[in-house]
Amino acid sequence: MSDILVVGSLAYDTISTPSGRADRILGGSANYFSVAASQFAQVHVIGVVGQDYDEADIRLLADKGVDVTGMQRVSGKTFHWEGSYKGDLNEAVTIETALNVFADFDPQLSEAHKKCDYVFLANIDPDLQISVLNQVKSPKLVASDTMNLWIDIKKNSLLKVIERVDLLTINENESKLLTRTTNAIAASKEILRMGPKAVVIKRGEYGFVMATHEGYFILPAMPVPEVIDPTGAGDTFAGGLMGYLAKTNQSLSTEKLKQACLSGTVMASFTIQDFGLNRLRSLTASDFETRKQEFLKVITL
Ligand code: AMP
């Protein structure tokens, strides 16, 4: 089944950027990922929300064809993250992380969810990533993402995840923190030694470095006139990437990964143009295709 299973945060975020502030807007790694990947493939989302989570925010995914039966609503408050960007839009400073309902989350996959071929373990507690990984049957491709918090407080669990995935996506600074190296190329080599067949190191406006055992591939980000809020760009990138692989029914060949990373880059360029999911939620296939053609002109001699 070329369907994508994603586990990750479903959140309300409070975000400050040089363009302004947004209080308790919809966010979370699984939301950005699902909206992006749903442009290409059937997505099934696994996560938990509290009593305060708006029905309209569940409908946003359902209206895009995402299977929301793996979303649990429990008593308590939805995960909340507060972050700010000061000067450097490539790096969020976390002000507060309130796990709330995620603190006691124990994901239980249905038989259909266990059979998904593509699995994305979006940024979330690595113990939850492992729980999902232990339940899926024989996926074709598993990718994961993470962040500094989990490197700081759950490194052993995180290393167990990384050892078992085919592809890791990670921010540049976090890759250096994880590997205790000082540049992205050195970090990518260390990460490949940890287990994955491929790694994508995300570098904000500078794009990414993708590395496999065969070599490297780099692309800049799509230049956009104004970056309003970079939150979710990484998860959106992953959604575009996994969506492409699932749609074309691909496993990890370097050539296919390049195309998948191109798709991720184009998709992420929409997210940063407005706060939260505001731009991504109205994206059409034709918006995506038009921008992809513009990007190809920008990067071709
Ligand atoms: P990014 O693509 O890295 O900008 O991801 C931003 C999203 O990550 C935000 O919408 C947050 O809700 C979410 N987030 C922030 N911290 C965490 C965390 N510790 N665990 C899971 N999700 C998080």
Ligand 1, residues 147, 171, 236: which to mutate, most atoms within 8 A of Cβ? 147
**Ligand 1 nearest-atom number relative to CA 13:** 12
4-163+228-299: CATH topology is: UDP-N-acetylmuramoyl-L-alanine:D-glutamate ligase (3.40.1190)
**Using CA positions, which residue lies closest to atom 14 of ligand 1?**
28
Q: How many Å apart are CA 61 and CA 148, to the nearest integer?
A: 27
DSSP letter at 141?
E
User: What pLDDT is attached to residue 21?
Assistant: 97
**Using CA positions, which residue lies closest to atom 16 of ligand 1?**
81
Region 115-138: mean pLDDT is 96
Q: Is the pLDDT of residue 251 over 90?
A: no
Q: Which residues contact 88 (CB under 8 A, 6 or more apart)?
A: none
The residue ranges of every structural domain in the chain are: 4-163+228-299
Environment class of 56 (CB within 10 Å of its CB; exposed 0-12, middle 13-18, buried 19+): exposed
Q: How many Å apart are CA 177 and CA 75, to the nearest integer?
A: 36
Region 43-57: mean pLDDT is 98
pLDDT in tens, 233-248: 999 999 999 999 999 9
Q: pTM for the complete prediction?
A: 0.97
pLDDT in tens, 53-81: 999 999 999 999 999 999 999 999 999 99
Q: Token pair for residue 15?
A: 């975000």
CA 301 to ligand 1 center in whole angstroms: 36
Q: How many Å apart are CA 36 and CA 22, to the nearest integer?
A: 21
User: What pLDDT is attached to residue 1?
Assistant: 53
What percentage of the chain carries pLDDT values higher than 70?
100
User: What is the band of 210 on the pLDDT scale with cuts at 50, 70, 90?
Assistant: very high
Instruction: State how far the alpha carbon of 18 is from the alpha carbons of 29, 92, 186, 282, in Å.
Output: 22, 12, 32, 24
User: What is the band of 90 on the pLDDT scale with cuts at 50, 70, 90?
Assistant: confident
